[in-house]
Structure 1
Amino acid sequence: MSRSPLPFDAHADPALLADLAARLRATRWPPAAAAPAWVHGTDLLWLQSLCSDWIARIDGTGPVDDWSDREHELVQIEDVSIHVVRGTSSKRRRDGIPLLLTHGWPSAFVEYLPALDMLTDPAAHGVTGPAFDVVLASLPGYGWSTRPDRAMTYAETARLWHVVMAELGYDRYGVGGGDFGSGVATMMAIQQPDRVIGLHLSTLELLPEVADHDSLSTEEREWRQADQAHWTIDGGYKAIQSTRPQSLAYALTDSPAGLAGWIGEKWHGWVEDPARLSASPLREVLLDVLTLYWTTGCIGPSMRDYADNRLHPPSLDGARIEVPTGIPLFADPGGIPPRHHVERLYNVAHWQDVPHGGHFAPAEAPRTFTGDICAFFAGLDI
């Protein structure tokens, strides 16, 4: 059962913010790591600076977030309440291409806000291409979206997202995302391809399953080796979150400095240029993510994505996505697989080098991200 979308006030609770600032001031800091910065995890001085800026933002006279003045709604679908942010095309009516975008972990809808106005009115921002009616959906368990006790996998979230778009009045639409959002968008194209105009992936979450390893090309083998080597070093967070997320949740729900250290390490490691996290506007996006996770208490539920998808992995054996797929080559910590490997699963209609941007491309390079989406959808026969 579903109900009509309801407007939603997304302002942060002042009492929660006051408590947050007090907890940050009372942080009990560990000694610095006996290794070069970032080798053993989040650098102490970097984290102390980030937390100081977080306090200053809470205590300042300006807004404590960049999301409150957006158009927020809650959509009740079965046993899940889904939070969405709407952005309509330039004439303030629904005449753009419908586009559903989904974030990943450790991120939130706020990652897309730097690109939202460009997507709804690209011409006003010097970007060539069509305008979009944008829906930013918060994954179940993130921010104000609830998470039921049952497993919420790529496939189950994709199923819900089709229902959400129907509730919002859309029959056909483009879908896109990064990280977990990329996996959800991929499953949407598999489940109901006739409803998906085009699939845009800023990162590649789901890749083809190749049973016959002898069929892999030299380039595919080299990429796999590099990818495995990367995750041997960077995969510790994934191991704990996919097996014992609840144990970690107690610490991160109680300590904002701990939360900032855990999330900040991933942002620092996955953006194209970590130095940009030390200055606005990218630092403000990271602070928005931290404030959202803290004030909604969503770090624990969000980490369940890893456990749910480990226990209920998607089956892509024999799958082939015929929906036209656009893939901008934003920098990725694990490297980018060869195009012919990706084409084992996806109908790649757009494979584009981009000048800059990394794992959190909408926040890192909003103009580049918007331009790529516009170019991809402009080339489709819609």
Structure 2
Amino acid sequence: MADPIPFTVAVSPDVLADLDRRLHATRWPPGAQPRWDAGVDQGYLRALVERWRNGFDWTSQVNVLNRHPQYLAEIDGHVVHFLHVRGRGQKPFPLLLTHGWPSTCWEFLPLVEHLSAMTFDLVIPSLPGFAFSPPVPHAAAIPGIWHRLMTDVLGYPRYGAHGGDIGAMVTNRLALDHPDNVAGIHVTMPAEPTIDPATLTCEEHEFLAQRRMSHETDSAYAHAQRTRPDTLAAALNDSPAGLAAWIIDKWRDWSARDGDLATRFSMDDLLTTITLYWVTGTIGTSFAVYRDWALGSSGRPEAWANRDDISPGVDSKPLPPGQRITTPAAVALFDHPAPPAWARRAYADLRTCARMPRGGHFPALTEPALLAGDIRDFFSHGCQRAGWRRRVRLPGGLDLRGAVRGGGV
């Protein structure tokens, strides 16, 4: 296998000039109200577009990204873009970080200083079809490509993995598919278990009722991306203002439910992510995983029951009855509403399930120290089979501890 090729982010001035022209020519919808209850707040969106045209320093954001070593690797005929940041100290532990949607590898940059200082070798790839990684024919290939990146390309026979959103689904599949090589996983979204309704707790019943309601109130984006991705891509790939509206609607909904995006992200945070999608033209290819894995259809078997190509344990399709992930695992519940009992159904060796006090859906950006600390605690101490004392952290700082081994929490 060929050695990775060094990579530097560079965008043609013509692409940026075309972006400015399109922003200037934005045709705003008539009658739209400055509110969020019907979608994106038009007042905020107009201000964001104005910042994009006059004030946003794309060059400085590129320079931040290019400060970290980046590479392209060819694996099984697929090209993967990734950052590889070596840790400090002796024998740094290799840790794979996988982002979700609508995100990019840039989301993890605030974690780099925290985790590299904690003696982690960080490998941060762009998911296929996102930013600088070309798409693959089917999302089912991603865990295998990630495994070969870590073992064959980078030479790590054992490694840990963290992921959020789609990155959590990939991480869960890595643990299922490569238990001998994956030392432990840390995720912000638990794998989907098979349930016996007779055994559900009250909290789990409430969680499932909430999830059913969200299919009606909050999941239009997922249904469109799963069922009509090419139609949606044609619009968003042509209009930067439309692309911005589609992305910030989810960033606000998932992280700033008080209505004020400024309390969680600067405009430049948002614009960096949006611009990465725009200049690479990857919003459409980022939808592919929604179609491949029927994402957003949790509890809706009509979307996945007859599809063998969908990987069990992802957001939509549950693990087969009796199957659990055996790799040591930690779940950090930042914005995911599942109770700890739900997570215990999917993991045979759940070391930690923590309801995090803050952070939202993008904790690497909003609470990097908090997320890095939880990752460090798990891989430094919790990812050891012998003598580990499991814990469930509850709101208010309470801990439930037990000396059990090899079971639930």
After TM superposition, list the pairs within 5 Å mapping 1:1-382 onto structure 2. 2-33=1-32, 37-58=35-56, 62-63=60-61, 66-90=64-88, 95-121=91-117, 130-148=118-136, 150-153=137-140, 156-166=141-151, 167-204=153-190, 206-210=191-195, 212-272=196-256, 277-278=261-262, 282-310=266-294, 312-315=309-312, 316-317=319-320, 318-332=322-336, 335=337, 337-346=338-347, 347-379=349-381, 380-381=383-384
C-alpha separation between the residues in 1 aligned to 2:102 and 2:57?
Answer: 25
Residue identity in the other structure for 2:184 = G
Residue identity in the other structure for 1:145 = S
Equivalent residues of 1:87, 1:117 under 8 A apart:
no
SS in 2 for 1:200: strand
- Measured after TM superposition, the shift of residue 14 of structure 1 is 2.2
User: Deviation digits for residues 229-266 of structure 1, max 9, x if unmatched?
Assistant: 12321110111110110011111111100000001100
- Measured after TM superposition, the shift of residue 157 of structure 1 is 0.8
User: Deviation digits for residues 79-104 of structure 1, max 9, x if unmatched?
Assistant: 2100101111125xx83110001001
SS in 2 for 1:24: helix
- Measured after TM superposition, the shift of residue 227 of structure 1 is 1.6
User: Deviation digits for residues 181-214 of structure 1, max 9, x if unmatched?
Assistant: 000000000001111111100233x32022x322
Equivalent residues of 2:255, 2:264 under 8 A apart:
no
Q: What runs of 5+ residues in structure 2 fail to find an aligned partner? A: 295-306, 313-318, 386-409
Report how many residues are paired.
Answer: 362
RMSD value, Cα: 2.1
Equivalent residues of 2:56, 2:268 under 8 A apart:
no
C-alpha separation between the residues in 2 aligned to 1:10 and 1:158?
Answer: 25
Equivalent residues of 2:61, 2:272 under 8 A apart:
no
- Measured after TM superposition, the shift of residue 50 of structure 1 is 1.2
Q: What runs of 5+ residues in structure 1 fail to find an aligned partner? A: 122-129
- TM-score, normalised relative to structure 2: 0.83
C-alpha separation between the residues in 1 aligned to 2:288 and 2:76?
Answer: 20
**Residues 1:111 and 1:60: Cα distance change in structure 2 (over 3 Å):** closer
Equivalent residues of 1:272, 1:359 under 8 A apart:
no
- Measured after TM superposition, the shift of residue 284 of structure 1 is 2.6
**Residues 1:251 and 1:349: Cα distance change in structure 2 (over 3 Å):** same
SS in 1 for 2:83: strand
- Measured after TM superposition, the shift of residue 277 of structure 1 is 3.3
- Measured after TM superposition, the shift of residue 62 of structure 1 is 4.5
SS in 2 for 1:101: strand
Residue identity in the other structure for 1:240 = A
**Residues 1:12 and 1:273: Cα distance change in structure 2 (over 3 Å):** farther
- Measured after TM superposition, the shift of residue 355 of structure 1 is 3.0
- Measured after TM superposition, the shift of residue 281 of structure 1 is 5.7
C-alpha separation between the residues in 2 aligned to 1:197 and 1:319?
Answer: 19
Identity among equivalent positions (%) equals 37
Residue identity in the other structure for 1:80 = H
- Residue 126 of structure 1 corresponds to none
- TM-score, normalised relative to structure 1: 0.89
**Residues 1:224 and 1:348: Cα distance change in structure 2 (over 3 Å):** same
C-alpha separation between the residues in 2 aligned to 1:63 and 1:241?
Answer: 28
Residue identity in the other structure for 2:367 = A
C-alpha separation between the residues in 2 aligned to 1:60 and 1:141?
Answer: 22
C-alpha separation between the residues in 2 aligned to 1:18 and 1:33?
Answer: 28
- Measured after TM superposition, the shift of residue 168 of structure 1 is 1.0
- Residue 125 of structure 1 corresponds to none
SS in 2 for 1:351: strand
- Measured after TM superposition, the shift of residue 118 of structure 1 is 1.0
C-alpha separation between the residues in 1 aligned to 2:57 and 2:25?
Answer: 15
SS in 1 for 2:237: helix
**Residues 1:162 and 1:63: Cα distance change in structure 2 (over 3 Å):** closer
- Measured after TM superposition, the shift of residue 65 of structure 1 is 6.2
C-alpha separation between the residues in 2 aligned to 1:133 and 1:32?
Answer: 51
Equivalent residues of 2:264, 2:366 under 8 A apart:
no
Residue identity in the other structure for 1:28 = R
Equivalent residues of 1:202, 1:361 under 8 A apart:
no
Larger deviation: 50-59 or 181-190? Answer: 50-59
C-alpha separation between the residues in 2 aligned to 1:223 and 1:301?
Answer: 31
Equivalent residues of 1:271, 1:360 under 8 A apart:
yes
Highest relative contact order (Cα 8 Å, sep 6+), 1 or 2? 1
